[in-house]
Chain A
Amino acid sequence: MGAASVAVDSSVGQGLGGKYLTFSLGTEEYGIVITKVREIIGILEITAVPHTPDFIKGVINLRGRVIPIVELRMRFGMESKAYDDRTCIIVVDVPGPNGTVQVGMLVDSVSEVMNIAPQDIEPPPDFGVTTDAENIIGMGKIKGKLKILLDVDRVIGRTLASALSSLK
């Protein structure tokens, strides 16, 4: 019996195990696959871009490249919070309309890079009609703490695309 339940668990976590970069938004801890992360930088001056949704804070100059910044708190409908010295921008690669683009995710603070084993990952909880759950690929359990594992392509890439097309 026990063996069977383990098998179910591992099939959920199959292919999901690996290194994750974890960060926090308020009291919640999140994780994203490390291979998506390009770099982590401190907060820079952001130029606002008109006619974009709230959660797109604007654009920054990343060593001569202009990249958009998504405030993850607002993306998830959470309260915005004043920036402090722990505020970070995680630059990730996401699929854009013409190939991969870099996008900065504004988060409260970056925690660490950790290895999460497949058997420690559970399927995302069923929140009923809450659609945002589809951004979650699973829940990581590390030492009794929950890490919400995000699908970056969906959270950033797809939202960016649909947000931009709806503004026209």
Chain B
Amino acid sequence: MAKNSATTIAAQLDEMALKIMMVEPGDLSVVGELVVLVEALQSLEGIEEYPALKRMGRALRVVIGKIVMNELLDSAKNYDLLGQCIGLMQESYRKHGKDDASEKAFTLILDEIGYVPSAEDEAGLEAEVPTQSTVALPSAAKQSTQPAASSVPGGALGGPPQGLKILESPPVEAMEFLQDLELLTGFVSETLEHLESIEVNVLELEDNPSDQETINKIFRPFHTIKGVAGFLNLKNIQKLAHCTENLLDDVRNNIRAMDPQVIEVVLKVGDFLKTMVENLKVVLKDGPEQYKNYDISEYAAWVERVQSGTRAEVSPQPTLTAAETSPVAALDAVEQDSTAPPSLPPPQSQSGADGTAPPSAKSPAAPQKAAVGDSIKVDVDKLDGLVNAVGELVIMQAMVRSNPKIAVISDPKLIKDFAQLGRITSELQKTAMSMRMVPIRQTFQKMIRLVRDLSKKTGKEVNLVMEGEETEIDRNMVDSIYDPLVHMMRNSVDHGVQPPAEREKLGKPRSGTVNLRAYQKGGNMVIEIEDDGQGLNTEKIRRKAIERGLIQETDKSSQYELNNLIFLPGFSTADKITDVSGRGVGMDVVKKAVEKLRGKVEAISEAGKGSLFVIRLPLTMAIIDGIIVRVGSERYIIPTTAIQESLKPRRETYNTVQGKGETLMVRGTILPIIRLYQLFQVEPVYTDPCDAIVVVVEYEGRQRAIMVDELLGKQEVVIKNLGGLSDIPGVAGGTILGDGRVGLILDLAGIVQSHSGHGVVES
């Protein structure tokens, strides 16, 4: 039990580590997600066994809260420090709280951020926790210091920093956009798509500022967003989209050029709109109390200033209005205290405060469905249902065919029909599978922005060259690959590519190049990230590894092996030895995320020349290529990717060690033998390895010879989970075999680990 909860804690910490990577100053929505994770960590079962971890989590929660409330600086540096904090929490967890050095270091870092723990914070947090367990961040943070009721009379709460205009949050009945939830859901997903396309087009425009068609492509989605937002009475979004549209209209009519300022406006407004729409998404999920009434006036004024030619010095940060407390909570408070004056203004004054209705409010109100080619949107569940049904059809078809009574019929017509049926079903399967595949383009395109922002921030010049955006990937994997990809891109730009001056000194071109490639190879999707920067410092990695006891002083590991040590947990957290650590979060989170997708990641690097990171992923999560083996009456599937060879051992290659461990000499390498029947407790046919067959597998560079009775063949199998039986050591899942029975798919990570005598990495 305890161990189980421990694994979830580890997973939670990993997720936090990934999340902190994604945080950008000014982007509160991601910070909100981070807080949700931290809070979830605090309430995990078994957390009590890690008191230090719990203390750190609590402090972290307070600090993030303060950042949101602008009491602490919302800066990249602070997020970097927070990242180190999370790294320390991982460290503390790994040591099972036995070493309080991490906590001490943790406190020091918090000190650097400018946080001094006070009893008040603690008390505020304690008071808040029971009632606010699931609240998204910003409102929760404010409520922790301000009782909800006091914010009801508008403006009683001190004005937000930067002295912005305070807006009343609308009463729940004024939130008209909630009337048609279906429409709102459509709006949210469509707008997010629009915003993405805007971003991509804007970046394209940076290279080619006068392309009328691209300008139109940016103008139109703003127009659509404005129209639908107006229809749904989302005034904030409508107004912001409207003034940006006006600005773009000038550009379109050649009144002004598409200069960097306009581009900046479009990008920033896009980000802000995204924040607002993401908030709506939360509202749809968790109810109207999550609604945040963002104050857009500053933004709108900025856009208008830009339009009228006034130079705007800095772009404002998205800010919540003071009355961001949820209207529902506010109403509750009013209800509880009936003596409270009805201080909520009528809805009309709300729209009045928003400024006059935009002139073009009469613009098309009905959502304009973006006609993208000839495609239609299909509910994911329906699609999955179809794919499952087709999978069953294929199996059923094979079962009917191999039915002994039917197999003996030698009627040519029947045989021909069966052949036809087989063709149709496999065609159907292929089509169904391909429906789940999407090009990786969207994910790649998000990297353009990332690299642009990163290079601006770090003062480096970086060219991003992308290839193979059309490569298709299972849509279920797209989201999961995004975070690790961001982490690796960040690494390449932050730590790989050197600053321009340094590059010139080294005789390299001023601007560095990061190549992002995707292609299919042998049933795998490969993503490569290559930079021409400084490369990994193998010697430092080696010293660090020796220090950590991972390798011996005398170890003659190759450069490749040493470089790939950076993927081990705890390797690059507490210090910067490897020079490949973003925010103090190790590359192990990347590795774990990739492995979750049944993929592999490796690093190839040459000091001074650059690094290449290769991620290999299966094309789909649903199907694997496997060899079916038999042990006694049971059949198992071994994923082909891990198999190196299979052979019938000869007597002279077989040895025992101390009478227990068994080894086999294969091509000069000594491999430990794993008797699968022993591990899985089934009755085998052969107990002598020389009668049986061994399958040589490799996992994380460790080779093992797995002993089985017989090889039955190679087959693509559809992976199914085992219902409520998950996380069984050595079993990755199940599949339905040709005869309708279930076969288990082996999880080599589990098998190799459960049988590993050495190579234990974690302390």
Contact = CB atoms under 8 A, between A and B. Distances in A.
Do chains A and B stick together as partners? Answer: yes
A68 B722 contact: yes
B734 A164 contact: no
Ordered nearest first, which 3 A-B pairs have the shortest CB separation?
A165-B4, A64-B392, A50-B680
B155 interface: no
Given A66-B736, A165-B1, A168-B729, A49 B744 contact: yes
Nearest to B750: A51
8 contacts: A45-B740, A49-B722, A50-B679, A51-B730, A59-B742, A66-B723, A66-B742, A164-B728
Nearest to B677: A50
Interface string A38-55: 000000010111111000
A49 B728 contact: yes
Given A52-B725, A61-B740, 10 more contacts: A48-B634, A49-B725, A50-B680, A50-B728, A50-B744, A51-B680, A66-B722, A96-B723, A166-B1, A166-B4
Contacts of A61: 736, 740-742
B728 A48 contact: no
Nearest to A165: B4
Interface string A133-166: 0000000000000000000000001001110111
A47 B728 contact: no
B724 A168 contact: no
B620 to A, nearest CB: 17
Contact of A97 (B395, B726, B728): B726
A168 B7 contact: yes
Nearest to B389: A64
Given A59-B722, A59-B725, A96-B724, A66 B392 contact: no
B744 A47 contact: yes
B724 A50 contact: no
Contacts of A58: 742
Interface in B2-50: 3-4, 7
Contact of B742 (A60, A97, A162, A164): A60
State the majority secondary structure of interface residues on B.
mixed
Contact of B729 (A48, A51, A60, A157): A51
Given A61-B736, A64-B392, A160 B724 contact: yes
Contacts of B730: 50-51
Contacts of B729: 51, 167-168
State the majority secondary structure of interface residues on A.
mixed
B730 to A, nearest CB: 7
A56 interface: yes
B723 A67 contact: yes
A15 B274 CA distance: 48
Instruction: Give the bracket for the number of chain A residues in contact with chain B.
Output: 20 to 34
B675 to A, nearest CB: 13
A121 interface: no
B727 A164 contact: yes
A73 to B, nearest CB: 19
B736 A59 contact: no
A67 B722 CA distance: 6
A47 B723 contact: no
A46 to B, nearest CB: 8
A32 interface: no
Contacts, number: 97
A160 B725 contact: yes
Contacts of B727: 164, 168
B718 to A, nearest CB: 9
A51 B727 CA distance: 10
Contact of B634 (A47, A51, A64, A167): A47
Interface string B681-717: 1100000000000000000000000000000000000
Contact of B736 (A51, A64, A102): A64
A151 B387 CA distance: 35
B724 A94 contact: yes
Interface string B743-754: 110000000000
B723 A63 contact: no
A97 B731 CA distance: 18
B391 interface: yes
Nearest to B754: A51
A102 B721 CA distance: 12
A94 B725 CA distance: 13
A45 B635 CA distance: 13
Contacts of A68: 722-725
A45 B741 contact: yes
A94 B392 CA distance: 24
A66 B721 contact: yes
Nearest to B4: A165
B510 interface: no
A160 B720 CA distance: 18
A103 interface: yes
